[in-house]
Amino acid sequence: MAKARSSVFRSVASHAILLAYTFIALAPVIVIVLNSFKKKLAIFSQPLLPPLPSNYDPVGYVTVFSRGNFPLYFFNSIFVTVGTVFFVLLFGAMAAFALSEYRYRLNTVVGLYLAIGIMIPIRLGTNAILQILVASGLISALPWGPLVALILVYTAAGLPLSIFILSEFMRQVSNDLKNAARIDGMNEYKIFFRIVFPLIRPALATVAVFTLIPVWNDLWFPLILAPSESTKTVTLGAQIFVGQYLIDWNAVLASLSLAILPVLVLYIIFSRQLIRGLTAGAVK
Amino acid sequence: MAGPRFAAARPFRYPRGHGLTDVPAPPPRKPVRWHIAVFLAPAAIVYTILMIVPLISTLQASTMTGDAEHRAFIGLGNFVTLLTDPRWSASFWNAFRNNVYFFVINMLVQNPIGILLAALLSNPTLRLRGFYRTVIFIPTILSFVIVAFVWKLLLSPLWGVAPMIMKFFHIGQLFQPVLGKEQFALTTLSLISVWQYVGVPMMLCYAALLSIPDEVLEAAECDGITGWSQFWKIQLPLILPTIGIISILTFVGNFNAFDLIYSAQGALGGPNYSTDLLGTFLFRTFFGSTLQLGDPNMGSTVATMMFLIILAGVCLYLFGIQTRLRRYQF
């Protein structure tokens, strides 16, 4: 009886804390989305009112879809983001496996070498990156070359952190399991792809989420490497509404609200892996 | 005890012609483990070409002076200027102090909240956990443009939402234009950064808490350790390595922070440089601003200093803390 009551109390308390934080997290975002449907005057005079018939005005969305090529921008953003996540997860997990699984002379050195990248924003090397990519001909050779260049740069930027996180999680994968597979005659590649990779799915999902967010929201490298109309990303595309003297707030709010959607969908896809990866594990 | 002496006195020998002797055979040559190289190669190649080489070119620029035509090597001269010339050192140390404060607030507010939320969410009987997890993470997926805009909208004294709400509760006279006052601006921006990034420690801790096997928790329950004490005694010690990762990520992220300040307060880190971080200081130095011309060499010097500061912090963590963390395999 006492136990039942305390667990009811605990679950009520949990819900109260989580609901309170949900409100803190969500309220500002809701303000943005609501205001994207309102008249310009109403955005500033009554920012808290929901869109009503009196102040409803979808002009922002109309502008977004009439000016600029937003479906293409969306495609470009998704192409770059998904490509980056794929390579960061694959290359990062492979390197993390090499670092956490085997003992060899240069292990620590290689680990530190790959960790340097966590400490430096890749932007510091922008000048040299641009020179290298232009010299390689990647940017000018193909129409979608700049997008591939973006994927490469973001992969280089995302790898150090993903290796750091993944190797921490890989150390927790049971040695018995791997050794059992070795005794059964699996080679190291199969052990990696068939045993370790599925077992660290929650960590992979986490890394995927951390990789995709800065890539999706980045303004810096699209501006430098892929500024032409056919290779613009959404975040860069939204900037056409931010002028030097005049900002089209309706269009900015509408394009920003639209830009939240795809990354939210990607996030939900990856975060589902968090649960599935664990219930399907081999040792559990 | 007698064994070794006996063996020394009468070494065992195989009969001649048997092919086996007591002479130790040369250690077998270990085969080259090519798979290690295969696993490392793709990451190492991409990373070296697009991260390390550009970084080295930045480091090189920090020892140079002059423009593209008249470059000259001056060794550590730029560093001496940065740390001793009052025009530079005042700004540098101001940005450094602000950055430390920014980091401390993030560390003390963001990470405990994140761990608490993850602990609540990891309760398997809790309903709506997927909903909470998704919603609490939404601020993290927003771009800095949105975050800065929404908080400026909420906190603005002119058409802000905060004064309206405070008036509604009859505490309107307490309202302050926090982003415009020197004594509040940095704290406010730190808390905005906390708001934005609380999802990161939450997600990492959540993943770590989920990977604790049920048997461990069931064993604890059999011993009467439930609820809060289970969290403190079982779960928290088991996720310490993850908390270590979170701390180092917070440290590195905060000392590289730039976008939030730039989109909320501009490149000058106003009001009166009170929110100037190393990132914004670097940006001004590198690319110039309304008040100064850009100087790529001094910019590279600031970048190198940031790199050294972060390197020192990370090494402190890697050698001082990480090696002492106990890990458990399940």
**What gap in Å lies between CA A152 and CA B201, rounded to an integer?**
27
pLDDT at B173 > cutoff 80: no
Residue at A284 is within a domain:
no
- Give the max Cα distance, chain A: 74
* Nearest CB to A206 within list B139, B203, B256: B203
| A50 and A164 together in one domain | no
Length of chain B: 330
Mutate which of B150, B210, B215, B217 to disrupt the A interface (most A C-beta within 10 Å)? Answer: B150
CB–CB contact A29 B58 (8 Å): no
Q: pLDDT digit string (tens) for B88-110?
A: 899 999 999 999 999 999 999 99
Residue at B325 is within a domain:
no
Domain count, chain B: 1
Please tell me which residue of chain B has the smallest CA distance to A9.
Answer: B227
- Cβ B153 vs Cβ B145: under 8 Å: no
Q: What string of DSSP letters covers B281-304?
A: HHHHHHH--SSS---HHHHHHHHH
Backbone torsion region of residue A261, taken as left when φ is above 0, otherwise alpha when ψ lies between -120 and 50, otherwise beta: alpha
* Nearest CB to B153 within list A31, A116, A264: A31
Q: Cα-flanking dihedrals φ and ψ of residue A165, to 5°?
A: -70, -45
* Nearest CB to B36 within list A14, A102, A127: A102
**What gap in Å lies between CA B206 and CA B213, rounded to an integer?**
13
- Nearest-CA neighbor of A31 among B195, B160, B135? B160
Residue at B39 is within a domain:
no
Q: pLDDT digit string (tens) for A45-58?
A: 777 777 777 778 88
| A53 and A153 together in one domain | no
Closest Cα in chain A, distance from residue B218 (Å): 14
Domain boundary among A21, A43, A61: A61
Mutate which of A14, A32, A90, A104 to disrupt the B interface (most B C-beta within 10 Å)? Answer: A14
| A11 and A79 together in one domain | no
List Cβ neighbours of A153 (8 Å cut-off, separation of 6 or more): A122, A129, A133, A221, A225, B50
User: Which has the higher per-residue pLDDT, B267 or B2?
Assistant: B267
| A34 and A119 together in one domain | no
Which chain B residues are within 8 Å of A155, Cβ to Cβ? 46, 50
How far apart, in Å, are the Cα atoms of B228 and each of A212, B88, B203, B316? Answer: 34, 51, 20, 32
| A157 and A24 together in one domain | no
Q: Among B112-121, B197-206, B260-269, which is the least confidently predicted range?
A: B260-269
Q: Tell me whether the omega of the peptide bond preceding residue B271 falls within 30 degrees of 0, making it cis.
A: yes
CB pairs under 8 A between A and B: 253
Residue at B138 is within a domain:
yes
The tokens for A199 are 């077992």
- Cβ B282 vs Cβ B306: under 8 Å: yes
Q: Residue B22 — very low, low, confident or very high, per pLDDT cuts 50/70/90?
A: low
Across residues B32-57, what is the average pLDDT?
89
B33 at A interface, C-beta within 8 A: yes
Q: Among A127-141, A179-193, A201-215, B147-161, which is the least confidently predicted range?
A: B147-161
Task: For residue B238, give the CATH number of its domain.
Answer: 1.10.3720.10
The tokens for A124 are 């510091």
Q: What is the average pLDDT value for chain A, to the nearest integer?
A: 82
B327 at A interface, C-beta within 8 A: yes
| A39 and A134 together in one domain | no
Q: Residue B5 — very low, low, confident or very high, per pLDDT cuts 50/70/90?
A: very low
| A112 and A137 together in one domain | yes
Helix ranges restricted to H, B74-160: 77-84, 86-105, 111-121, 129-141, 144-155
How many CB atoms neighbour CB B235 within 10 A?
20
- Nearest-CA neighbor of A17 among B125, B113, B131? B113
Q: Residue B1 — very low, low, confident or very high, per pLDDT cuts 50/70/90?
A: very low
pLDDT at B66 > cutoff 80: no
Residue at B117 is within a domain:
yes
CB–CB contact B314 A119 (8 Å): yes
| A138 and A239 together in one domain | yes
pLDDT of the residue at A31: 82
- Range of the structural domain that residue B272 is part of: 97-292
**What gap in Å lies between CA B298 and CA B78, rounded to an integer?**
6
**What gap in Å lies between CA B142 and CA A259, rounded to an integer?**
9
Strand partners, A247: A242
pTM over 0.90: no
| A24 and A107 together in one domain | no
Mutate which of A123, A124, A159 to disrupt the B interface (most B C-beta within 10 Å)? Answer: A124
Q: pLDDT digit string (tens) for A208-251?
A: 888 888 888 887 888 888 888 888 888 777 777 765 566 777 88
CB–CB contact A157 B327 (8 Å): no
Which chain B residues are within 8 Å of A172, Cβ to Cβ? 211, 327-330
Residue at B261 is within a domain:
yes
The tokens for B74 are 């001056």
- Cβ B266 vs Cβ B290: under 8 Å: no
Number of H helices, E strands in chain B: 18, 2
Across residues B117-130, what is the average pLDDT?
84
- Cβ A155 vs Cβ A84: under 8 Å: yes
| A53 and A75 together in one domain | no
| A166 and A235 together in one domain | yes
Domain count, chain A: 2
Residue at A148 is within a domain:
yes
Element containing residue B209 per DSSP (H, E): helix B199-210
Radius of gyration of chain B (CA): 29
Which chain A residues are within 8 Å of B121, Cβ to Cβ? 18
Q: pLDDT digit string (tens) for B210-229?
A: 878 888 888 888 888 877 78
pLDDT of the residue at B30: 67
Residue at B312 is within a domain:
no
List Cβ neighbours of A8 (8 Å cut-off, separation of 6 or more): none
pLDDT at B16 > cutoff 60: no
B79 at A interface, C-beta within 8 A: no
pLDDT of the residue at B239: 87
pLDDT at A273 > cutoff 80: no
Task: For residue A140, give the CATH number of its domain.
Answer: 1.10.3720.10
The tokens for B231 are 């969290």
Residue at A87 is within a domain:
yes
Residue at B272 is within a domain:
yes
Across residues A184-212, what is the average pLDDT?
86
**What gap in Å lies between CA A22 and CA A16, rounded to an integer?**
10
How far apart, in Å, are the Cα atoms of A120 and each of A74, B151, B252, B278? Answer: 29, 28, 8, 12
CB–CB contact A17 B58 (8 Å): no
- Cβ B178 vs Cβ B185: under 8 Å: yes
- Range of the structural domain that residue A28 is part of: 2-61
Residue at B267 is within a domain:
yes
| A8 and A141 together in one domain | no
pLDDT at A136 > cutoff 90: no
